[in-house]
Amino acid sequence: MNKRVALFLSLLSVLIVSSQENPGFSGDPLNAKFITADVDRFYAALDRLESGGNPFKTYIAEGSKGLQGFLAYRIYNADSLLKTVRERKQEYINGRDNLRGLDSKKKRIRASYAAMKYWYPDAVFPPIYFVVGRFNSGGTVSEDGLILGHEMQHDLEGLPGLVAHELIHFQQEFQIDENHWNLLASSLNEGGADFIGELISGQNINALNYRFGERHLEKLALEFVVSMEKDDNTDWLYGTSGKDHRPNDLGYWMGYKITKAYFDQATDKKQAIYDILHIADAKAFLEKSGFLKPYLEQVGKMDETERKALLVPFPSKKVTATFTVTVPNADDVVYITGNHENLGNWNPSAVKMTRVSDYKRQVTLEINSPATFKFTRGSWGSQALVKGVDGIPNLTFVEGGDEPNFSIEKWSDENN
């Protein structure tokens, strides 16, 4: 699977070069286009849902280039979309106004684009397409532009950071062929997008795994050195094996650390940005960054048994955590549920939170770290939409991170 990912990225680089020559793409940050017509078409189809047939066939047939680029790996076809809509209809209804406030975010995005133009004068700014998918992607790129999943954009506060990350992917032109594409290359691809994206937007879109990485730097750095030349991304990118309590996508963090070290040591910072976008030799880039030098030396002195010992799982850890939520209604009765016995094993009405004040609920539990959880009013039909979180994903708590303190904007069964 990872080789297919590498091949896709290699082909994508070719497509990007071609698209950057497209006269319809702007070299001026102020002329960046935001295209939302697909969202209007989707909700017009949703309003016809009970009229018979599959109204999303028209949504797809008349869709923009952005929607067409979103089909293959995310929507698949109109029947798949219809199935998801029937299963999650209320969530789609609740998300109808997800783009309210987009105009104010456009200003911040264009400011990020202007910063990108400063750092990388050859930057091209493709259209940003907002499309409605199946709750499985917040954003991606295609030869036609940046594509963002509208249904995943419940809170637009993180939108500038997300757009910045995808914009960097659009500029990247790695020259690494498939046979040399490995965990290190994949991590530099994602971590480089995170680093430059943060540089231009001021937002980091992967805060959880970064906090975990910093707390376990020594162990993770040694493990990464042992694994980095393999073409297996397991436990570093796009999911974990479940062998321990690490969060997803630590490769983003490791790639960020390497990229930042490269940038920091460079005398010519603009040239460094160019280099980050045009990596041809992942290992040479790593060595020049200097970031993992002591760990490379340490692993180089180990025998095979010692190296294998570096791959042992992180031990699960019992911690006591106090979960606090601010609620939108004084009469809200709130439950927490999650992936541990003390969190109710995903029973939405098993663990009731204590009313501390009119608008605050709280509960203290002994749990394993990390924990994944959600808040409800007692059923899966009334899940919490949490401020600062796109959609209704599982929330995560890791010992040593931020206190689990959340603000609930509204509930999934509330239309307004």
| Residue 2 vs residue 323, higher pLDDT | 323
pLDDT surpassing 80 at residue 390: no
Is the pLDDT assigned to residue 4 strictly greater than 80?
no
What is the pLDDT at residue 389?
78
Q: What is the pLDDT of residue 325?
A: 95
Confidence (pLDDT) at 20? 41
- Please tell me the predicted confidence (pLDDT) of residue 380: 86
Assess whether pLDDT exceeds 80 at residue 6. no
Least confident of 204-208, 262-266, 343-347, 380-384: 204-208
**Entry pTM:** 0.72
Res 18 pLDDT > 60? no
Confidence (pLDDT) at 388: 77
Average pLDDT over residues 176-202: 94
* SS3 at position 140: strand
pLDDT at 13 over 60: no
pLDDT band at 415 (very low <50, low <70, confident <90, very high): low
Whether the predicted pLDDT of 383 surpasses 80? yes
CB of 376 within 8 A of CB of 333?
no
* Higher pLDDT pick, 272 / 312: 272
Q: What pLDDT score was predicted for residue 60?
A: 95
For the chain, the farthest-separated pair of C-alpha atoms sits apart, in whole angstroms, at: 70
Which sign, positive or negative, has the C-alpha torsion 210, 214, 219, 225? positive
* pLDDT computed for residue 219 by the predictor: 92
Q: What pLDDT does 201 receive?
A: 95
pLDDT(3) > 60:
no
Instruction: Name the CATH superfamily, with its identifier, for domain 317-411.
Output: Immunoglobulins (2.60.40.10)
User: In this predicted structure, what is the pLDDT of residue 180?
Assistant: 87
Pairing of strands 145-149, 139-142: antiparallel
What residues have CB less than 8 Å from 300, skipping those under 6 apart? none
Indicate the burial class of 100 (C-beta count within 10 angstroms; 0-12, 13-18, 19 or more).
Answer: exposed
- State the pLDDT confidence band at 121, using cuts at 50, 70 and 90: very high
The mean pLDDT value of the chain amounts to 87
Q: Is the pLDDT of residue 100 over 90?
A: no
pLDDT confidence of residue 189: 96
Question: What average pLDDT does this structure show over 169-182?
Answer: 91
pLDDT band at 401 (very low <50, low <70, confident <90, very high): low
Average confidence (pLDDT) over 81-109: 90
- Domain segments of the chain as ranges: 2-171, 178-309, 317-411
Q: What is the mean pLDDT of residues 65-82?
A: 91
Q: Say what the pLDDT of residue 83 is.
A: 94
Which residues 6+ apart lie within 8 Å of 148 measured at CB? 128, 129, 130, 131, 138, 139, 159, 162, 163, 166
Return the percentage of the chain with pLDDT > 70, whole number: 92
How many Cβ atoms sit within 10 Å of the Cβ of residue 182?
21
Mean pLDDT of 374-382: 91
pLDDT digits (tens, 9 = 90+) for 29-62: 888 889 999 999 999 999 999 888 999 999 999 9
Cα dihedral across residues 55, 57, 62, 67: positive or negative: positive
Q: Comparing 206 with 292, which gets the higher pLDDT?
A: 292
- Average pLDDT in the 185-212 region? 92
